[in-house]
Amino acid sequence: DAKTTQPNSMESNEEEPVHLPCNHSTISGTDYIHWYRQLPSQGPEYVIHGLTSNVNNRMASLAIAEDRKSSTLILHRATLRDAAVYYCILGYGKLTFGQGTILTVHP
């Protein structure tokens, strides 16, 4: 499985945008880029995914580098509820989770 690299932790203030980076230099042509998040005491929840083009949904935006070796999850206005572990995952089929980024949101 292709590997992803994420910062261990990041901090943000409420109402500010958050850019969560992910490096995946060994990504293959068929690998989708997925983002999931895990709120405290809950199972992971899907955030967004993409292949080559940038993607937007009601939760977030996904910006994918032209060479696909990195991507950024963008939360446009962080809320306290967005405090979670964010996982960047590559794959098509079964998904392998890395350590993720712990996002802390300050009031």
Partner 1 sequence: SAVISQKPSRDICQRGTSLTIQCQVDSQVTMMFWYRQQPGQSLTLIATANQGSEATYESGFVIDKFPISRPNLTFSTLTVSNMSPEDSSIYLCSVENHLGQGRSGANVLTFGAGSRLTVL
Q: Footprint of partner 1 on this chain (CB under 8 A)?
A: 32, 34, 36, 42-46, 49, 51, 87, 91-100
Specify the residue, 47 or 78, whose C-beta has the smaller distance to partner 1.
Answer: 47
Specify the residue, 21 or 44, whose C-beta has the smaller distance to partner 1.
Answer: 44
Alpha-carbon distance values, 96 to 16, 65, 67, 79 (Å): 30, 21, 22, 27
Specify the residue, 97 or 104, whose C-beta has the smaller distance to partner 1.
Answer: 97
Nearest distance, CB of residue 20 and partner 1, angstroms: 16
Regarding beta strands 101-106 and 9-13, do their DSSP bridges make them parallel or antiparallel, or are they unpaired? parallel
* CA–CA gap between residue 59 and residue 7 (Å, rounded): 21
